[in-house]
């Protein structure tokens, strides 16, 4: 009986241990399933943060389009990408922290409608809009990229690169389908930190993005461009800045504006406005474009500086050397507020795109190019605390008033000014419209100003064959290789 008793005790212990055994590399204290709402919230916050980020390791777009200039460490202002592996940082933040969350959320949403098929369709549409924006933003910065084999984790550790134009066609279709698939009913609710579950605003957001990306193709695929824009207009794009895609940060670390993190949390004074933008807006004699007067947003963007001949002075763009922070204008205090909103798409850019579409003709846009151009500038001035009187006076300046014969210059310069602090879009639209003329950094020529990020440097080691094929397909992995939609040469080379 003792033997049987001992055997029973031993068997019980073995069974208990067996039942408690965990697979290798599993942390029993860490959740293995993430709520789908958390995936949406985290993905949205990560994407906003990366696009709005000011960081030498992950987002240097403001430097390349000459909004910002570094003070002490100036290599990135002179287009050095390799030392900090900036392309690796940018693509990792978007693919890993945003797109992956959106994809996993979409998989979960589509696995069960939870008895609410309309709500399922609405939640899926939101994710499709966000994934389209993420992929197309990366295409605008890099060119050909992993797409059909992207976000597959261990199933595709060496993904092939898809043709950039093909990605555009696919995601324009996805965007159009998404904005037309919204139904009356529920959405994401409180997990939606952008629109609070308002499907009508998401629909307008998606249509405004479709307008943006459709117009990107105006010079290279006008038929597809017009089809996308027609769909966007039929659905309805932004009609006021109140509808724009702003993320209003909570204002408590870590949920704070990225500029606040760079300047206040990290205690750095690494960035100043450039002489490129300050000279143009202040109407200095040496400005690259003559507005004919001072831009009313100047004192809302920048501070004055004491001890200089002119009240506003920007740091020399691309100077091969450090520049003293105290000698130049700085950004206004508003930019350093922890809760200062980040933006992905707004009414101002929508009106600029409509102005361009009206000017080009054949897009079915109501209103004239001049009307939409004036709407865009007025909305920007009002957003930056200006007045209607200031907007009217500014629009009457000889270098600002709409001129159809110089439409690219007029729209290009004014869009660039309006998109200050939006480095990704500012750089992208500068590449496409070619205006304004930027300053040539010391020791460089105009053609050295980057037209794209080079591919991530670790791809040479981790995905060499596909990297080499992608580089060959776009004409070489160089900063001066244009994105496929950038087919009109700059007039300043």
* Tens digits of residue pLDDT in 107-116: 999 999 999 9
At 143 the pLDDT is: 98
Domain annotation covers residue 4? no
Rounded to whole angstroms, the Cα distance separating 376 from 363 reads 18
pLDDT average, residue stretch 350-374: 98
Domain annotation covers residue 24? no
User: What pLDDT band is residue 72 in, cutting at 50, 70 and 90?
Assistant: very high
Domain annotation covers residue 153? yes
Domain annotation covers residue 367? yes
Number of domains in the chain: 1
At 452 the pLDDT is: 98
Domain annotation covers residue 485? no
Q: Is the dihedral of CA 161, 162, 163, 167 positive or negative?
A: negative
At 269 the pLDDT is: 87
At 5 the pLDDT is: 31
Rounded to whole angstroms, the Cα distance separating 134 from 150 reads 12
Closest CA to 289 of 304, 276, 302, 303: 276
Indicate whether 134 pLDDT > 90. yes
Residue owning tokens 């992608």: 470
Q: How would you class 465 by CB atoms within 10 Å of its CB: exposed for 0-12, middle for 13-18, buried for 19 or more?
A: exposed
Q: How many CA atoms lie within 13 A of 110 on its CB side?
A: 11
At 7 the pLDDT is: 31
Phi and psi at residue 211, to the nearest 5°: -60, -45
Q: What is the CATH number of the domain that holds 191?
A: 1.25.40.390
Domain annotation covers residue 366? yes
At 86 the pLDDT is: 98
Percent of the chain predicted with pLDDT > 90: 89
| pTM (two decimals) | 0.93
Domain annotation covers residue 488? no
* Tens digits of residue pLDDT in 312-349: 999 999 999 999 999 999 999 999 999 999 999 999 99
Average model confidence (pLDDT) across the chain = 93
Q: Which long-range contacts (CB under 8 A, 24 or more apart) does 111-117 make?
A: 116/185, 116/186
pLDDT average, residue stretch 278-298: 98
pLDDT average, residue stretch 419-426: 97
Domain hosting 190: range is: 36-258+338-473
Domain annotation covers residue 169? yes
Residue owning tokens 């998989």: 107
Q: How would you class 180 by CB atoms within 10 Å of its CB: exposed for 0-12, middle for 13-18, buried for 19 or more?
A: middle
* Tens digits of residue pLDDT in 253-281: 999 999 999 889 988 888 999 999 999 99
């Amino acid at each position: 009986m003792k033997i049987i008793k001992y055997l029973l005790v031993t068997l019980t212990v073995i069974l208990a241990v067996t039942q408690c055994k965990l697979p290798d590399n599993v942390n029993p204290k860490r959740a293995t399933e993430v709520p789908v709402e958390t995936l949406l919230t985290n993905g949205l916050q990560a994407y906003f943060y990366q696009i709005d980020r000011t960081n030498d390791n992950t987002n240097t777009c403001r430097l390349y389009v000459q909004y910002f200039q570094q003070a002490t460490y100036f290599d990135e202002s002179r287009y050095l990408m390799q030392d900090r592996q900036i392309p690796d940082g940018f693509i990792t933040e978007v693919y890993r922290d945003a797109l992956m969350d959106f994809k996993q959320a979409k998989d979960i949403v589509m696995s069960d409608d939870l008895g609410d098929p309309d709500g399922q369709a609405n939640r899926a549409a939101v994710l499709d809009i966000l994934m389209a924006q993420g992929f197309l933003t990366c295409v605008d910065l890099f060119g050909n990229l992993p797409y059909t084999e992207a976000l597959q984790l261990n199933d595709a550790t060496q993904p092939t690169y898809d043709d950039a134009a093909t990605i555009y066609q696919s995601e324009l279709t996805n965007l159009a389908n998404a904005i037309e698939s919204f139904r009356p009913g529920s959405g994401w609710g409180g997990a939606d930190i952008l629109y609070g579950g308002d499907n009508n605003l998401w629909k307008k957001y998606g249509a405004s993005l479709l307008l943006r990306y459709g117009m990107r193709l105006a010079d290279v695929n006008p038929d597809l461009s017009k089809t996308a824009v027609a769909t966007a207009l039929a659905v309805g794009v932004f009609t006021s800045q109140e509808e724009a895609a702003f993320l209003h940060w909570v204002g408590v670390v870590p949920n704070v504006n990225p500029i606040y993190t760079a300047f206040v949390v990290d205690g750095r004074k690494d960035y100043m406005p450039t002489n490129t933008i300050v000279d143009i807006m202040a109407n200095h004699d040496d400005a690259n474009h003559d507005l004919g007067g001072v831009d009313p947003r100047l004192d809302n963007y920048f501070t004055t500086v004491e001890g200089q001949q002119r009240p506003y002075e920007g740091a020399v763009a691309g100077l091969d050397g450090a520049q003293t922070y105290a000698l130049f204008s700085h950004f206004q205090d508003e930019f350093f507020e922890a809760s200062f909103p980040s933006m992905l798409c707004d009414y101002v850019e929508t009106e600029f795109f409509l102005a361009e579409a009206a000017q080009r003709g054949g897009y079915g846009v109501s209103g004239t190019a001049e009307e939409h151009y004036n709407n865009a500038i007025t909305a920007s001035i009002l957003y930056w605390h200006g007045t209607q009187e200031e907007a009217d006076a500014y629009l009457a300046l000889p270098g600002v008033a709409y001129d159809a014969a110089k439409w690219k210059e007029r729209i290009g310069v004014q869009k660039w000014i309006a998109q200050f602090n939006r480095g990704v879009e500012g750089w992208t639209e500068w590449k496409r419209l070619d205006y304004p003329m930027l300053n040539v950094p010391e020791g460089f020529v105009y053609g050295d100003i980057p037209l794209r990020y080079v591919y991530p440097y670790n791809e040479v080691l981790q995905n060499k064959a596909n990297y080499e094929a992608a580089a060959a397909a776009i004409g070489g992995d160089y900063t001066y290789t244009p994105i496929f939609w950038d087919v009109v040469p700059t007039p300043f080379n």
